[in-house]
Structure 1
Amino acid sequence: MEKIKVGVLGASGYTGADLIRLALRHPTIELTVLTANAHAGKPVKDVFRHFSHVDLPDLISIDDADWAAVDAVFCGLPHGTTQAITKQIFETHPKVKIIDMSADFRLRDPAAYKEWYGLDHIAAEIQPEAAYGLTELYRDEIEAARLIACPGCYPTAVLLSLVPLAIKDLIDATDLVIDAKSGVSGAGRGLKENTLFCEAGEGISPYAVGKHRHMAEIEQEIGKAANLEGLRVNFTPHLIPMSRGELTTSYVRMKNGASASDLKDALIDAYSGEPFVTILDGETLPQTQMVRGSNYVAMNVIPDRIPGRAIVISTLDNLVKGSAGQALQNFNLAYGMDETLGLEQLPLFP
């Protein structure tokens, strides 16, 4: 099988490390370029000890990367960085595919990007090419794109559970309350006081209340599904003292006489045959333990005791299906391969 040469930008972050982990088990990927500016010149095993037994290229700076040595690039860089690099690559090597795990191309409107991220969009001419990389909902666009903008972890969990319901007009998209919880790896690997062990351990902390940047993606995609402009949702994230995992609980008002059973049937219908999405039996409640270390999503719909309302719960691993795994799933689509290649890892338990 012919190898596809791949670069990973931001290889020293948690997302980059998980992408490397998954790529090493992929039968067609050859890792040729690994960048990490702060660790340039180091072997990967000096940064991540769990790669000590693996032969990998040394980490280099982005300025030293040879784009002629890659067929595809996974970008795990901070927002505001990927746009310039994408422009550079496309200008000099237009056949290279980019699977972006940052936020730089997720929002279709450049003005919305500036509003939420405080930066001018410097690659607005490329933005229309970006396919929103929510695999189960945008396969056709992803297959044809050279630029894939993978969703954030929270939007992936929320949108997979709510978009099919909004499309079928079973829920009132203007009355959504979303409670979300993520492991500490979602905050990145950089040194931050609030993620120190003594600060994050043995407690739960809300953050970015009413202003989390992932709200923009959630509103963009549910608004599109419900054909509503200017949609606003209530979304509150929380930090949980665990390394990885994410769970979202969405409180919805049903429409058109729909019941919780109708909502569940709609999700079963939407994801019938999907390799990574499971609608749980009965009233089995999703738990992060069900998906840890895997590309799987588990969800369910529970009737609320308040008439006309239901509770939709979804869980995934924020570093896999919420980031690196979904990126690899999109890579498989973009190259016409089985979506599950390199992603066969079952959840880890305990």
Structure 2
Amino acid sequence: MSFSVAVAGASGYAGGELLRLLAAHPEFEIRTVTGHSSAGRPLIEYQPHLRSLAHLTLEDTKPELLDGHDIVFFALPHGASGELTAQLHRTGTVVDCGADHRLRSAADWAAFYGGEHHGHWTYGVPELIVAGGSQDRGSQGGGLVKQREALRGATRIAAPGCNASTVALSLAPGVAAGVIEAQDLVTVLAVGPSGAGKAAKTHLLGSELMGTANPYAVGGTHRHIPEIQQALRDAGAGAEPTLSFTPVLVPMSRGILATSTARLAPGVTAQQVRGAWEAAYADEPFVQVLPEGSFPRTADTLGANTCLMGIAVDEAAGRVVVVAALDNLAKGTAGAAIQSTNIALGLDETLGLPVNGVAP
């Protein structure tokens, strides 16, 4: 069986990564690609690396053009997809890679994004542990309950923010197991500028990025903070999570290296800490905990739908340290979207998704 697919926002970075992965998917057929100012132009002009899709032409992003496909993926800036998705009545599965449907709280949306809140869809991070706080979790099926249970049969999916999913995956096992405290969480992320999109902006020019590291959204202003807090509440945080979040642009086109630390819960040993993370991800095809003493590099995840993590306990500081790496465009966005769609449709969740990165 082949599912017909449309991708809105196909000329951007996230749209291009969706198309790269979808092109290798054995069950999906890309029929329609849309853009805004790029409408009417060949897709290959904007995504010259996608040689197998050279026959496609970008069309206007109109709901009547998108509706009726089996699956529609949206790769649009925040605030741009909500109005369009509401007009799709003949599409079985809609996946939003933007922020419009990630947050349950309208107050959080107003505080961090502004504009109309378009409601909450099933969150597209299958490996996340969910506990008593989740409103869309599946039933207990033995072992840890994961977000993938809520994704089975879902028709409206909110793909995650790349920084948000990296940090949430880093900390949720410790919160769920009670081996770390959910207050005084600190994370610093080295991120590639492709996460900011393809639009020309002075601070994203090569001459502004090369040879330097630039912090941004400092002091609790980054829009992914409420998304991380929501995920940690779902993982069973006993009190409202508090998070200091500092992203830093570094001169690599793609990738995230997130170093997250948390207070060690009283009486918890280093063995119990490692056991919590290993138990959480033991059977996951795409999230892997490295052996003790090993820590990931972003280079090892490029182009792959993998998240690699290293775990350590800083005994002197009384803190757990988690270092996680992933490709922000692959596992952080497009890969998560496709993986979640596979689950929703009852397919093998690994279909079309690589675990091997590109090196050097």
Q: Is the 8 A contact 2:193 2:249 kept in 1?
A: yes
Output aligned runs, 1:236-255, within 5 Å.
Answer: 236-255=246-265
Q: State how far apart, in whole Å, the 2-side matches of 1:65 and 1:20 are.
A: 21
Q: Is the 8 A contact 1:151 1:322 kept in 2?
A: yes
Q: Is the 8 A contact 1:248 1:313 kept in 2?
A: yes
The letter for the 2-side match of 1:88 is Q
Aligned to 1:275: 285
Q: Does 1:117 align with 2:108?
A: no
Q: State how far apart, in whole Å, the 1-side matches of 2:67 and 2:100 are.
A: 23
Q: State how far apart, in whole Å, the 2-side matches of 1:174 and 1:139 are.
A: 26
3-state SS of paired residue (1:19): helix
Aligned to 2:94: 98
- TM-score norm. by structure 2 comes to 0.91
The letter for the 1-side match of 2:162 is C
Which range moves more in the overlay, 184-193 or 260-269? 260-269
Output aligned runs, 1:6-21, within 5 Å.
Answer: 6-21=5-20
Aligned to 2:152: 143
Q: CA deviation at 1:345?
A: 4.9
Q: CA deviation at 1:31?
A: 0.6
- Comparing both structures, which one devotes a greater share of its residues to helix? 1
Q: Is the 8 A contact 2:18 2:335 kept in 1?
A: yes
- Among candidates 123, 132, 137, match of residue 132 of structure 1: 123
Distance 1:225 1:54, change over 3 A: closer
Q: Is the 8 A contact 1:35 1:65 kept in 2?
A: no
Q: State how far apart, in whole Å, the 2-side matches of 1:68 and 1:190 are.
A: 27
- Among candidates 182, 203, 220, match of residue 173 of structure 1: 182
Q: State how far apart, in whole Å, the 1-side matches of 2:286 and 2:10 are.
A: 25
Q: State how far apart, in whole Å, the 2-side matches of 1:288 and 1:256 are.
A: 33
The letter for the 2-side match of 1:278 is Q
The letter for the 1-side match of 2:179 is L
Q: State how far apart, in whole Å, the 1-side matches of 2:247 and 2:318 are.
A: 25
3-state SS of paired residue (1:173): coil
Output aligned runs, 1:226-265, within 5 Å.
Answer: 226-228=236-238, 230-265=240-275
3-state SS of paired residue (1:264): helix
Q: Identity of counterpart residues, as a percentage?
A: 39
The letter for the 1-side match of 2:252 is M
Q: CA deviation at 1:302?
A: 1.4
1:246-287 superposed Cα distances (whole Å, 9 cap, x missing partner): 010011111131133322211110111110111111211111
Q: CA deviation at 1:68?
A: 4.4
Which range moves more in the overlay, 226-235 or 101-110? 226-235
Which range moves more in the overlay, 276-285 or 222-231? 222-231
Aligned to 1:292: 302
Q: CA RMSD in A?
A: 1.5
Output aligned runs, 1:18-37, within 5 Å.
Answer: 18-37=17-36
3-state SS of paired residue (1:119): coil
Output aligned runs, 1:294-313, within 5 Å.
Answer: 294-313=304-323
Distance 1:197 1:36, change over 3 A: same
Q: State how far apart, in whole Å, the 1-side matches of 2:351 and 2:73 are.
A: 16
3-state SS of paired residue (1:25): coil
1:196-228 superposed Cα distances (whole Å, 9 cap, x missing partner): 011011110000112000011111111332444
Q: State how far apart, in whole Å, the 2-side matches of 1:28 and 1:225 are.
A: 32
Q: Is the 8 A contact 1:204 1:239 kept in 2?
A: yes
Structure 1: where are the runs of 5+ without partners?
none
Q: CA deviation at 1:143?
A: 1.2
- Among candidates 197, 207, 221, match of residue 188 of structure 1: 197
Structure 2: where are the runs of 5+ without partners?
129-146
1:3-27 superposed Cα distances (whole Å, 9 cap, x missing partner): 1001111101101001100001000
3-state SS of paired residue (1:46): helix
Q: CA deviation at 1:133?
A: 0.9
Q: CA deviation at 1:144?
A: 2.6
The letter for the 1-side match of 2:81 is T
Q: Is the 8 A contact 1:33 1:65 kept in 2?
A: no
Q: Is the 8 A contact 1:173 1:226 kept in 2?
A: no
